[in-house]
């Protein structure tokens, strides 16, 4: 589902998109409040099956929990920041960090495609990851490449040798700092 509306069509494509950080579970509330103020907002969602003790239901959940995308002029962000549920606009301390239009278009296409979608950890080549599924469960290594499958490098510093292995992309997750400290 792609929740997007604008009270002022003239502002569409005039201002850049920004990621607005919102309070936990306030994405739809902030979306409605900002719409009421005339801003174009986007809350990409995905379907998830929720099981309660008395029923099972498919519900829409935000694809980017804690964020609402909004078009506005960064210098005139006060009405956005004063909205109920808004915490902050992603910025570098001095100026807003707009989301490039091609990235927003990619999100739109993915959501509108009706293909099965869900949030995924952000992984980068060179990042330390842990295998949590499959025959290599528990192995940690460095993500070497991301293509159809992932390439993982496991090194033994004492021997100054490494092993390269190709694994399924959904078998890895980033190693958290808490896990490394232990």
Quick one: pLDDT band at residue 179, thresholds 50, 70, 90?
very low
pTM for this model (two decimals): 0.72
Domain 128-181 has CATH 2.30.30: yes
User: Which ranges in the chain are annotated with CATH 3.30.70.940?
Assistant: 2-112
Q: Which two tokens stand for residue 96?
A: 């807003």
User: Which ranges in the chain are annotated with CATH 2.30.30?
Assistant: 128-181
Quick one: pLDDT band at residue 156, thresholds 50, 70, 90?
low
Distance CA 153, CA 128 (A): 9
Per-residue pLDDT at 8: 47
- Provide the 8-state DSSP code for 74: G
Mean pLDDT, residues 161-167: 74
Percent above pLDDT 90 for the chain: 43
Q: Give the containing element (helix H, strand E) for 121.
A: none
Fold held by 2-112: Alpha-Beta Plaits (3.30.70)
């Amino acid at each position: 589902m792609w929740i997007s509306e604008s009270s002022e069509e003239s502002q569409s494509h005039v201002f850049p998109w920004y990621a607005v950080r919102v309070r936990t579970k306030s994405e739809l509330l902030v979306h409605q409040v900002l719409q009421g103020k005339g801003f174009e907002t986007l809350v990409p969602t995905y379907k998830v099956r929720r099981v309660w003790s008395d029923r099972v239901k498919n519900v829409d959940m935000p694809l980017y929990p804690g964020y609402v995308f909004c078009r506005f002029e960064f210098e005139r962000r006060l009405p956005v920041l004063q909205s109920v549920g808004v915490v902050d606009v992603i910025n570098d301390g001095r100026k807003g960090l707009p989301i490039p239009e091609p990235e927003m278009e990619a999100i739109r296409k993915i959501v509108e495609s009706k293909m099965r979608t869900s949030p995924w950890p952000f992984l980068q080549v060179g990042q330390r990851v842990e295998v949590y599924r499959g025959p290599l469960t528990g192995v940690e290594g460095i993500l070497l490449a991301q293509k159809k499958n992932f390439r993982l490098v496991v090194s033994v510093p004492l021997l100054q040798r490494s092993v390269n292995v190709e694994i399924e992309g959904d078998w890895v997750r980033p190693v958290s700092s808490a896990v490394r400290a232990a």
